[in-house]
Every structure is written in C-alpha cells, then in structure tokens.
C-alpha cells in the first residue's frame, strides 16, 4: 500500500468540509499487488482520505472482496469504488464523515455499513449496485441525495434513520423494495423517489411530511395509502400508473392542503373521489363520465364540493377574493356535471349563494370533521 502527500486544494476539485483548513493530507493512490483477497486490505494509518485513484493499479481480479475502512479515513472521493468487484465495505462507526458522488456506483457491493458520522448520502452513491440487498441509514444522515440507490434491482430492505429530513429525486428508483416506513422527521419527498418500484405494496407516511410531489410512487403496486394531515401539497400524479391503488385515506381534513394534478387512469373508489373533491372541485373534470349516471353519486359530488368550500372559508375567512374563487369553482363543477348528465343543475349555484349570504349575516357553517 502506498500513500502520497498532496496539496489538497490542487488535488481535489471539491474540498469536503471535514478536510478544509488542512494544507497537506495523505491520499491513497494504489494497492500493492501482494494484497490478496484472502487477507483483505491494509490501509496505512497515515492516510486520512481515499482518492478516486484508489483501485487504479489493480485489475478487477486483483481487488479484495472485503474492505474495512479505519476511523482515520475522513473522506472517500467521488467514484473511488465505482465499478469494482468489492462485495463488502464496512466503515468504522465514528470514522468517515463524507463520501463523494457515485462512490460505490455499479460495483458488486452486497454489504455496506455506513459511518455514524455521515450527514448526507451523496448523489448516486450506490447507483446500479445490483447485488446490494439491504441498507441501514444512520441517524446522523439528514439528506438522501438524488439517485443514491437508483437501479439497485436487488435492494429489498431500507431502514431509515430518525434524523432524516429530505429524500431527493429518484433516490430509490427501480429497486426491489416491498414496503417502506418513512420516519416522521422527513419533511420533503422529491419527485420520483420510488418511481417504478414495481414490488412496492406498502408505504407508511407520518405526520410531519409536507409535500407529496409528482411521480413519487409512480409504477408501484401500492393498494392503499394514508395521507398525513400535515401534508400541504399533494400531486395526484404521484400515483400515476398504480393500477392496484383504489383508496386514498386522509388522516384528517386539512383546509390548507392543495391537491394538484389529474386523476389519469386511476381506479379510485367513490369515497376517495368524493374526499378529493372536498379539496379540489376542479378534479371533477377527470372523474369518469359513466360515474355520473348514478344520481346519488352526482348529489354526493355536489355536497362534497360545498362541504370543502365551507371548511376552507371558515379557516381562512370569507373575503371578496374567496367569494370570486368559490363562484368560479362551483360554476365550473356545475358545467361538468351538466355535460356529463345532460341535465341542467342549479343546486351548486343555489347552495353557494346561500353560503355567502350566511357568511355575510355572520352565521357559521359546520366544519368538516376529521375521519
């Protein structure tokens, strides 16, 4: 094993915070050919970061099967183990503080133990590691970056740390996950996090989550899901191409929740459709026309729309702007119903006028109850 003394600022395009202020550091540059698979790999105590050239002098056949990263190693540079034959990497629990992008990408890694000093999982860390079956995220990690585990086709189990706050786009795309429990500490899920996880059937979300954007669960096998009351933005395109999803439960009515997007090819049951209408009257345009042949369903649609408007008016207060928005939404919904049924309906206009008159007179209307 060789080490080399280098000027960090000249050697690295990106200087990690754990090494800033140190003029000279030792970088691992190559492995001795006498290092064998049988005896693993010895890393000198002088070294404090692993360079991207770490395995450059070895063929894949010469690479060890297992590596234990000692505590003096603070940083592993981008692509240091990319496309390697190494199957097992264990970081000392109080050692590595930061790893670079695509550090283990496209490798044969099966078992990876991360340091409890890591604060984030970088972009593409285990991208296309097809032999990786499980991963435990330390409590120290606050962010899982984009594509971190994307394409890990054998990844069946993820244990999330309790310090996690954000999971970035496509982080677990096309993995073999069957169920995930996202901790309450997570505030943000970005676009496509679990895209095309075709085996994913169960997802548990907790209070604290604020946004569910498009494509998060697209192409999964989810059958039911509960939306926490803390969610303020829900894009229905999050569930695009989820043929088994028929029911969305809402933990409680949140007047601040904005539902966006189309219903697409969804097969939501009537209860779910009616609940969605309490949040977004405009979604009525995407409900299958055949459903409007049921007079009771049509009446329930009208009641749900008005019920949602009442609850939001009570929460935000009735203003001229809200009256204008409400009138526009109610008239639009009424036009959709008329086109679908071929009948003229005045119920929505009459109810809306009654609501506005009640508010002007200072009369309260009943709030929507939590389920």
Instruction: Give residue-wise pLDDT tens across range 67-117.
Output: 889 888 889 989 999 999 999 999 988 889 999 999 999 999 999 999 999
276 occurs within a structural domain: no
pLDDT of residue 368: 38
Distance, in Å, from the CA atom of 83 to the CA atom of 42, rounded to the nearest integer, reads 21
Alpha-carbon gap, residue 146 to 172, rounded angstroms: 9
Query: Which residue range forms the structural domain that includes residue 311?
Result: 299-371
335 vs 129: which has the higher pLDDT? 129
Same domain, 174 and 73: no
Residue 286 lies in a domain: no
> Environment class of residue 160 by beta-carbon count within 10 Å: exposed (0-12), middle (13-18) or buried (19+)?
buried
The answer to whether position 180 is within a domain reads: yes
- pLDDT score, position 60: 85
Is residue 280 situated within a structural domain? no
**Looking at the 3D structure of the chain, how many domains does it have?**
3
User: Do both 145 and 261 map to the same domain?
Assistant: yes
Confidence band, pLDDT 50/70/90 cuts, at residue 350: low
Mark whether 96 and 155 lie in a shared domain.
no
Q: Is the pLDDT of residue 323 over 90?
A: no
Rg, the chain, Cα only: 27
- Domain membership of residue 289 (yes or no) is no
% of the chain at pLDDT higher than 90: 57
Residue 95's pLDDT is what?
87
The answer as to whether 293 is a domain residue is no
Query: Are 73 and 145 contained in the same domain?
Result: no
* Residue 331 confidence (pLDDT): 87
* Ramachandran angles phi, psi of 320, nearest 5°: -60, -40
Last residue of a domain, one of 251, 268, 285: 268
Q: Tell whether 264 and 190 lie within a shared domain.
A: yes
Same domain, 148 and 180: yes
| Predicted pLDDT of residue 349 | 55
More confident residue, 49 or 263: 49
**Domain assignment present for 253:** yes
Task: Report the alpha-carbon distance of residue 172 to residue 196 in Å, rounded.
Answer: 9
Residues 289-300 have pLDDT tens digits of 889 999 999 999
Half-sphere exposure of residue 320: CA atoms within 13 angstroms, side-chain side: 0
* Beta-carbon-side half-sphere exposure of residue 145 (alpha carbons within 13 Å): 16
pLDDT(326) > 70: yes
Provide the pLDDT confidence category of residue 354 given band limits of 50, 70 and 90. low
Q: What average pLDDT score do residues 36-50 get? A: 65
What SS3 string covers 213-230? CCCCCCCCCCCEEEECCC
Banded pLDDT at 224 (limits 50, 70, 90): very high
Region 20-27: mean pLDDT is 56
Relative orientation angle of helices 295-316 and 347-360, to the nearest 10 degrees: 20
Read off the pLDDT of residues 128-174 as tens digits, 9 standing for 90 and up.
999 999 999 999 999 999 999 999 999 999 999 999 999 999 999 99
Do 339 and 252 fall into the same domain? Answer: no
Of 98-107, 322-331, 349-358, the range with the lowest mean pLDDT is: 349-358
Of 361 and 57, the structure prediction assigns the larger pLDDT to 57
DSSP state of 355: H
User: Given 268, 289, 310, which residue is the final one in a domain?
Assistant: 268
- 42 has pLDDT over 90: no
Task: Give per-residue burial for 8-45: e unless 16+ CB within 10 Å, then b.
Answer: beebbeeebebbeeeeebbbbbbbeeebeeeeebebee
Residue 38 pLDDT class (50, 70, 90 cuts): very low
User: Does pLDDT of 205 surpass 60?
Assistant: yes
Residues 249 and 188 in one domain: yes
Residues 179 and 312 in one domain: no
Specify whether 165 is located in the same domain as 188.
yes
Q: Are residues 150 and 233 in the same domain?
A: yes
* Span of 26-35, 136-145, 273-282, 325-334 with lowest mean pLDDT: 26-35
pLDDT value at residue 37: 43
Res 50 pLDDT > 80: yes
């Amino acid at each position: 094993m060789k080490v080399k003394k280098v000027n960090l600022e000249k050697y690295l395009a990106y200087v990690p915070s754990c090494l800033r202020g140190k003029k000279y550091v030792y970088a691992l540059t190559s492995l001795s050919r006498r290092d064998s698979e049988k005896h693993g790999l010895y890393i000198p105590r002088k070294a404090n970061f692993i360079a991207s050239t770490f395995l450059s002098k070895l063929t894949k056949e010469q690479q060890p099967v297992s590596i234990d990263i000692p505590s003096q190693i603070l940083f592993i540079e981008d692509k240091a183990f990319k496309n390697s034959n190494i199957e097992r990497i264990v970081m000392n629990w109080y050692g590595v503080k930061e790893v670079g992008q695509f550090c283990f990408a496209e490798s044969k890694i099966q078992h990876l133990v991360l340091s409890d000093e890591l604060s984030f999982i970088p972009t593409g860390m285990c991208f296309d590691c097809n032999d990786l079956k499980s991963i435990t995220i330390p409590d120290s990690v606050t962010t899982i970056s984009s594509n971190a585990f994307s394409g890990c086709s054998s990844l069946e189990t993820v244990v999330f740390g309790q310090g996690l706050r954000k999971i970035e786009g496509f982080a677990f795309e096309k993995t073999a996950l069957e169920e995930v429990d996202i901790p309450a500490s997570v505030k943000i899920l970005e676009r496509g996090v679990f895209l095309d996880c075709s085996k994913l059937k169960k997802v548990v979300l907790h209070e604290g989550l604020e946004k569910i954007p498009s494509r998060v669960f697209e192409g999964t096998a989810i059958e039911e899901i509960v939306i926490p009351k803390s969610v303020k933005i829900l894009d229905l395109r999050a569930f695009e191409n989820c043929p088994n999803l028929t029911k969305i439960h809402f933990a409680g009515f949140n007047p601040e929740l904005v539902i966006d997007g189309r219903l697409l090819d969804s097969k939501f049951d009537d209860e779910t459709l009616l609940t969605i209408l309490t949040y977004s009257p405009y979604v009525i345009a995407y409900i299958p026309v055949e459903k409007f042949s049921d007079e009771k369903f049509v009446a329930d649609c009208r009641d749900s729309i008005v019920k949602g408007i009442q609850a939001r008016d009570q929460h935000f207060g009735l203003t001229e702007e809200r009256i204008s928005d409400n009138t526009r939404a109610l008239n639009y919904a009424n036009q959709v119903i008329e086109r679908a049924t071929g009948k003229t309906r005045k119920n929505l206009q009459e109810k809306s006028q009654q609501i506005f008159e009640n508010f002007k007179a200072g009369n309260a209307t009943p709030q929507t109850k939590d389920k």
